[in-house]
Amino acid sequence: MKILKFIAYGLLSIIILGGSFAAHEWYAKPFFINNFFNREILKQALKSPEMLSQLHMLENIGIRGHNSKLDDDSIAAGDAMIADLKAAKAVLDDYAVEDLSEAEQLSKAIADYLFASVDDFERYRFHNYPVNQLFGAQNGYPSFMESTHEIKIAEDAENYISRLSAVGKKFDQVLEGLKERENRNILPPRFVVDRVLEEMNNFVGTAPKENILYTNLEKKSAEIEGYDNSQVLSDAEKAIQADVYPAYQKLIDYFTALRDKTTEDDGFWKLPEGEGAYKAALRLFTTTDLTADEIHNIGLSEVARIQAEILAILAGEGYDVSAGFSTAIDEMASKEEFYYPDTDEGREQIIADYQVILNEIDKGLGQAFSLRPDTGVEVKRIPAFKEKTAPGAYYQPPAIDGSRPGQFFANLYDIKATPKYSMRTLAYHEGIPGHHFQVAIAMQLEGMPLFRRFSPFTAYVEGWALYAEQVAWEMGFQKDPFDNIGRLQAELFRAVRLVVDTGIHAKRWTRQEAIDYMIANTGMAESDVVSEIERYIVMPGQATSYKIGMMKILELREKAKTALGDKFNLSDFHDVVLKNGAVPLDILEQLVDEYIQGNQA
């Protein structure tokens, strides 16, 4: 449901601020197809106060009431969304392609692709684990309150209290969905239960005044000029004790009782209709029809190729590679020179150095990019309360009104998971010219429906970020051979993902088999490997999108180079890839083919 919501909300600013369709078009088929897109998105956006807070546009016109509410996560709300999408698809089918402009035809093709996934979504909507060690209401709620709920005036602080009081209802809706999955015998693996119980027990075991929900309000409300925050802080303490902690306790009690019903089988193969659900997940995340076997074999081939390149560099640096990849890469990783001190000061230096890396490449991209984001990107540490089970890094887009920059969150829980030779590649992936360039550029594009600025095509989005790592190397930003090993390790990591994701969910690998394979073939820190494998278990198929997307972009670049010869221009190619927002890979190929034909002519 979250993916479908994110597709929907992007159009809100144009509709509310621009009034882009007539009142009667709220019910009838709009004459202009873009008005149809606007209307359907608005219908969904108005149902999500949390996304309205994330977009942060209504506040600019004095509307803040949505900031006192939380999303409806009930099964009924999911039913209503599916019904809305089916009705919208029927209207979209009424628009004849020949009556549309070229740009409108592209929008319709992308929308058709999205709507085609609704049937899979409906059939397999309960094939997931909505409360797990990575995401869910139990950690998403405090993260949302800390990073998204703005506190600039007294009303914002009061709305914060309202959202604390509303958490009980939200968690009851989450429990409703969990029990429906239990009735369908869709149960998480046992380790997921153990992880979330540990997380939630630690959360409620904190004194209310020490909880992030309180300290966040305390800090932000103190910055409101002339505001006495004593009453609101007292209210927050009471709400955390009376509303928040009891809501968490219900989830704790549920998972405690559920644990004995779970097993240590980890793949989707164990679930009713699990094979079909995994096929649907691969289609969704790769935007291809590649089978699990095909993806698995691509992964094995790429692992062998990349390991050979790394060994060649290590040999050139004087390492003994005769014992094989695992031994050689472990020897390199054991060198203390590659790590920061395991202290608060060391972690602060990591964040500062990440920012230096981003500032450097932002100034040095030269003629490779003509499209650039209007907003910058800042580096932040993943909040301590969730970093133990969080991924190594993630990116959060800027606010659409420019009030918040893009944010690259780095996980510093295990200092050994951040070797210096890996930092450039990670910064290029999450920041510049990776996710920040692609996402922020898409958000600022004009002249197209805003749903295309937020399209969740993971193979494109993650494929671009992985491609960006290679572009940075090609442009000379990783001249140190160990930085290049860091880049190749990152690509190897994504190739290994093809093997382990399909291994877990299609070939019945155990969690430990997948962990052992990834450790042996990447040289990653064990703590990172465990987090990653557990991520693939609760997010089937998603990990395959990175390498599949990167390989397609590189294939299309080579196709354009071969066809155009001296006429090929890297900046123009990047424009083609970036200027239409995220798209399925087959549509991206059509766009590149049109670029080739236009330049040949």
Written in H, E and C, the secondary structure of 19-67 is: CCCCHHHHCCCCCCHHHHHHHHHHHHHCCCHHHHHHHCCHHHHCCCHHH
How high is the pLDDT of residue 56?
80
Give residue-wise pLDDT tens across range 310-347: 999 999 999 999 999 999 999 999 999 999 999 999 99
CA–CA dist 213, 215 (Å, integer)? 6
Considering only CA atoms, which of 419, 214, 437, 450 is closest in space to residue 335? 419
CA–CA dist 486, 483 (Å, integer)? 5
User: Burial of 320 by CB count in 10 Å (0-12 exposed, 13-18 middle, 19+ buried)?
Assistant: exposed
| pTM of the entire predicted model | 0.86
User: Are β-strands 406-410 and 377-381 bridged in parallel, bridged antiparallel, or unpaired?
Assistant: parallel
User: Burial of 600 by CB count in 10 Å (0-12 exposed, 13-18 middle, 19+ buried)?
Assistant: exposed
Length of the chain: 601
How high is the pLDDT of residue 10?
34
Better-predicted residue by pLDDT, 8 or 369: 369
What would the mean pLDDT of 128-151 be, rounded to a whole number? 94
Q: What is the overall mean pLDDT for the chain? A: 92
Say what percent of the chain tops pLDDT 70.
Answer: 95
User: Burial of 425 by CB count in 10 Å (0-12 exposed, 13-18 middle, 19+ buried)?
Assistant: buried
pLDDT value at 422 more than 80:
yes
CA–CA dist 552, 290 (Å, integer)? 13
**Residue 290 Ramachandran class (φ > 0 left, ψ -120 to 50 alpha, else beta):** beta
- Domain boundaries of the chain, sorted by first residue: 1-125, 133-264, 280-548
Give residue-wise pLDDT tens across range 521-569: 998 878 889 989 999 999 999 999 999 999 999 999 999 999 999 999 9
How high is the pLDDT of residue 416?
87
CA–CA dist 84, 121 (Å, integer)? 13
Better-predicted residue by pLDDT, 68 or 366: 68
pLDDT value at 1 more than 70:
no
Give residue-wise pLDDT tens across range 163-177: 999 999 999 999 999
- pLDDT-based confidence at residue 387 (cuts at 50, 70, 90): confident
Q: Encoding tokens for residue 10?
A: 């992007």
Q: Tokens 């935007």 appear where? A: 287
What would the mean pLDDT of 381-401 be, rounded to a whole number? 83
CA–CA dist 250, 167 (Å, integer)? 12
How high is the pLDDT of residue 11?
35
What would the mean pLDDT of 32-47 be, rounded to a whole number? 86
Cβ–Cβ contacts within 10 Å for residue 456, how many?
A: 16
Considering only CA atoms, which of 300, 89, 272, 62 is closest in space to residue 187? 272
Is the CB of residue 442 less than 8 Å from the CB of residue 578?
A: yes
CA–CA dist 452, 433 (Å, integer)? 20
Angle at 579 between CA 577 and CA 582, to 5 degrees: 65
Say what percent of the chain tops pLDDT 90.
Answer: 81
pLDDT value at 252 more than 70:
yes
In degrees rounded to 5, what are phi and psi of residue 395?
A: -115, 140
DSSP 387-417: TTTS-SEEEEPPPTTSSS-EEEEE--SSGGG
